[in-house]
Structure 1
Amino acid sequence: MSEMVLTILSVCLLQGLFITKTASENVRNEASTLELLLEKVEHLEAQQRKYEEVNRMQELEIQMLKGQILEDKGQNLRTRRENENPIAFYGKMMNVHTNVSQNPILKFNNVVTNIGDPYSQHNGLFIVPVSGIYVFSTTVMTETDSDAHVGIYVNDVRMTNVKLYGSEHRYDTMSQTAVFQLQKYDTVSVRHYEGTQILHYDYTSFSGFLLQEDYGQMQGGIIG
């Protein structure tokens, strides 16, 4: 065999070896890349399972908190209903008021209803037992051609006005209702502040009741 042929065969053999080595290296590189990708996928899957478990625990905690809130709310409503104070008063005058002084407190000593004992017939004051919203009404009648000016007072402040002109038609009557937002120990009364001071006792009345108790701090004053 000639020397040239041997040279060509050597070159071909070397090329074959080089190609085989390169192919093997490529296979190893591809396998390494696939292993890295597989590890990354497994890591991401593990993180996803971890997040899903955290979300599940958070959802369970939220449901437990919702249930506790609803239970506490129901218990609070039951407690408030159980502790709600029934307060109601209705009374009429038993005698004619004549020649009374300026700003007298009318005393409704024929007490028909006095639930919770808020009204004192001795001083004519409705003493607020619990803070809240109250409704008060008064009906006043003048007699023997007399005029009268009467008002509902909160503490010592006149909040309403009732003006009767019996002198024009012998008798005159008027009713009035007001809503007050009051604090505990405020007083409410009906007082005569002007006129000839003669009222018909059987047709003059005063009533009040608790509309809604307030468990917080409220300022006194008329709201409607």
Structure 2
Amino acid sequence: MVFLQFLTCLLLCKGLHSMSIHNTTNEIVDVVALKQDVESIKDQVHNLTRLIENDINSYKQGVFFSARLSRLTYLNKNSIVKFNEVVTDSGNNFNHGNGMFVAPVSGYYQFSWTTFTYSNKIVDTELRVDNVIVDAMYAHISVASSIPATKIAICWVNKGDHVWIQTTNSYSENVIHNPNESNAKISFLGFLIEEKN
């Protein structure tokens, strides 16, 4: 649309430039009109350039985050998992203080989270988008060992929606174990698959 307006202005200016000037008064009026048209074209070119640069920057930047939980954690029912280490966060949309990702654009996103638990412990978690349960994952092991569990979900997220992992309302003692604290394996990640307006 902006490009069509730009072409229209160019044609108008060319037409104004080729007009014959009959007298001084008409000449002044034509020069003023020509200057106004040139300023209008400059504004439109500036706006078009800005739109193109914004599209290029948003395409290059992408939307993705990855965070980890580096410590043994005990959580009650309906408790948000606060992943304390941000590995990567394009656009600073993940808040490690509250464990929430805020979608900068509307579209289809993919989220994945991994938990560990150990010896007769349970961890029961769910993915929530603006407090709506999108998916859930249960992990339990009855032997003296650790077990990981990973879930992947693809869902629609509106711009400004908050996305997080929390425990379900089923168990009052969820144990998120980290079998090797120097290399955290408990994680939460997400990225934009397709932006939609």
User: With structure 1 as the length reference, what TM-score do the two structures score?
Assistant: 0.57
Residue 146, structure 1, aligned to residue 121, structure 2: yes
Consecutive unaligned residues in structure 1, runs of 5 or more: 1-74, 217-224
Q: Distance in 1 between matches of 2:54 and 2:95?
A: 29
- State how many pairs are aligned: 140
CA contact (8 A) 1:145 1:171 kept: no
For 2:129, the aligned partner's letter is V
Compare relative contact order (CA 8 Å, sep 6+) and give the higher one, 1 or 2: 2
* Superposed displacement of residue 78, structure 1: 8.6
- 1:177 maps to which residue? 152
SS where residue 188 of structure 1 aligns?
Answer: strand
CA contact (8 A) 2:83 2:99 kept: yes
Q: Distance in 1 between matches of 2:85 and 2:72?
A: 12
Residue 165, structure 1, aligned to residue 147, structure 2: no
Aligned-residue CA RMSD (Å) = 2.2
SS where residue 142 of structure 2 aligns?
Answer: helix
* Superposed displacement of residue 131, structure 1: 1.0
Residue 210, structure 1, aligned to residue 192, structure 2: yes
Q: Distance in 1 between matches of 2:103 and 2:164?
A: 11
Q: Distance in 1 between matches of 2:166 and 2:58?
A: 33
- 1:92 maps to which residue? 68
* Superposed displacement of residue 144, structure 1: 3.6
User: Which of structures 1 and 2 has the bigger CA Rg?
Assistant: 1
* Superposed displacement of residue 161, structure 1: 1.3
- 2:111 maps to which residue? 136
Q: Distance in 2 between matches of 1:117 and 1:95?
A: 23
For 2:111, the aligned partner's letter is F
- 1:121 maps to which residue? 96
Q: Using a 3 Å threshold, how does the CA distance of structure 1 residues 147 and 83 change in structure 2: closer, same or farther?
A: closer
Q: Which has the higher helix share?
A: 1
Q: Distance in 1 between matches of 2:103 and 2:89?
A: 12
Q: Which runs of 4+ in 1 moved over 3 A?
A: 75-83
CA contact (8 A) 2:119 2:144 kept: no
> 1:16-45 CA deviation, whole Å, 9 max, x = no partner?
xxxxxxxxxxxxxxxxxxxxxxxxxxxxxx
> 1:81-130 CA deviation, whole Å, 9 max, x = no partner?
444351110011022111x2321110111110011111000111011111
Q: Distance in 2 between matches of 1:79 and 1:93?
A: 34
Q: Using a 3 Å threshold, how does the CA distance of structure 1 residues 83 and 204 change in structure 2: closer, same or farther?
A: closer
For 2:176, the aligned partner's letter is L
Q: Which has the higher strand share?
A: 2
For 2:161, the aligned partner's letter is D
